[in-house]
Amino acid sequence: MRLPDLPAAERPREKMLSRGGPALSDAELLAILLGTGGAGRSVMELSRALLLRFGGWHGLLNASLDDLAAEPGMGVAKFAQLQAAVELARRHAMEELQQGAVMSSPARTRRFLQSHLRDPSREVFCCLFLNAQHALISCEDLFLGTLDGAAVYPRVVLRRALQLEAAAVIFAHNHPSGVAEPSAADRRITERLQAALMLVDIRVLDHIIVGRGCTFSFAEDGLL
């Protein structure tokens, strides 16, 4: 059924305005982002097909342009719209993080890291450098890897922390496998980083591993 044929109250945009985002299905939210359908399909039909083909939001928002363009009704413009929505969410989370002490809201920090470390194809090792009040100085991706992992060098982290005059750090990296449990290598590098930074009185507050829809905290699990 075409959107104009739906009752006004059931059209995604009007439904969003009258009842709020939580009242919308995934397909309805996606329909608002895409705006139009194509190839003889309504935007709702296209949205349902995309979510089904890519297995939900994670697969869809991480799909390549080539993969999306293979779906009738999709193209460069709609791919750009989806990527813009993802980047908007990441910047919103970063802005929230910059508004106060990072450790005062662990949930906010995790939301940001989940949006920031969402690339499933390679491992990214990220550092949040904090001042003495645990406010964010800088968030930097220091090491990039492949599906198998990223090589992490404590001397690089130490040098950058000293350059920024950081008083504390939070480490984070993603597991492309989607499993957030720490490996033996994760535990070893965390110990090495903590020992190196301890020599110059920089505290390691946490190391967060980001999986698919889940996170693991070294601090909360008593590993720091």
pLDDT at res. 101:
60
Structure tokens at 118: 């969402």
List all residues 6 or more positions away from 73 whose beta carbon is below 8 Å from its beta carbon: 37, 38, 39, 41, 46
Q: Residue 128 phi/psi, 5° resolution?
A: -100, 115
pLDDT of residue 213: 80
**What are the chain's domains?**
3-89 (no CATH), 101-217 (3.40.140.10)
Give the pLDDT score at 146. 62
- Model confidence at 207, pLDDT cuts 50, 70, 90, reads very high
Tell whether the model's pLDDT for residue 96 goes beyond 90: no
Whether residue 29 is predicted with pLDDT greater than 80 in this model: the reply is yes
